[in-house]
Amino acid sequence: MIYPFYKVFITSILTVREYQANPLTLWPKEPTLTAYQFIFNTGEIVQAARITIFVTLAGTILSMMVTLCLAYGLSKKDLPGSKAIHRIILFTMFIDTGLIPYYLMVRSLGLYNNVFANIIPALVSLWNYLIIRSFFKQLPDSLEEAALIDGAGWMTIFIRVVLPISKPVIATFTLFYAVSYWNTWWNSMLFSSNADLQTLQLFLRRLIITNENLAQMNLAYSEMMGGREAVYTEAVKMAACFAATLPILCVYPFLQKHFTKGVLIGSVKG
């Protein structure tokens, strides 16, 4: 698991001469941070990172709020219409309307060239909803009944009783949503013609797959550095990949301990 990330980092700090002499080297003799200076000084990756950070934070918070409320409400058997609503939601697992209706719907909502086009269409993950709903259904009714006897309302029960005992599930699916939003690029490509609204992953896709804007970035950096020749392409790609992957990797150690418990608790009973 560590070696691919290590290799990406090593490639990003190699000089052109050293890379051409031995592309598989594991310990550079003349490490350089020129590739990182290149991607950050040109500014595009910084703007893309701002958009991605906003999408990740806002999207994760909104998605967890909506998913938790939806799952908790539809976990109640005595809620009028809960079964019908649940079946309608499940129906979307088997029917896909296709790309064109999806595109027209999002545009009709006024989300074209809007950063929320990366959030609203993907607000609720059906799989996450099913697992969290299954977890809520396993909670003993006596907890809520005791709170009701003490005079608590349903919102108070949800916030002060249910959520505190749901920390493993909340931590697990918060990370799932965060990773999903951090890696989003498809909606950004479809609904953003403004380069300032592109996400970090879309920037990487254009940089790595199509090499789009790489020549312009190279020229701008060369002019900024007084005409000095910029770094080679492979180092720029690897530096961009490493810089985009590192932040989300730093989150894992803090939430990893909740993974097994959070997922298993919600999947023991259907």
* CATH code: domain of residue 106: 1.10.3720.10
> 165 lies in which domain range?
55-210+250-265
- Tell me whether residue 195 is in a domain: yes
- Tell me whether residue 46 is in a domain: no
- Tell me whether residue 13 is in a domain: no
Three-state secondary structure string covering 71-124:
HHHHCCCCCCCHHHHHHHHHHCCCCCCCHHHHHHHHHHCCCCCCHHHHCHHHCC
- Tell me whether residue 112 is in a domain: yes
What is the rounded average pLDDT of the residues 101-119?
92
Residue 213 sits at φ, ψ, to 5 deg, of 70, 0
- Tell me whether residue 188 is in a domain: yes
pLDDT attached to residue 269: 47
- Tell me whether residue 45 is in a domain: no
> Is the pTM for the entire model greater than 0.75?
yes
- Tell me whether residue 34 is in a domain: no
User: Which range in 4-13, 22-31, 230-239 is most confidently predicted, on average pLDDT?
Assistant: 4-13
- Tell me whether residue 126 is in a domain: yes
How many domains does one find in the chain?
A: 1
Structure confidence at residue 264 as a pLDDT band (50, 70, 90): low
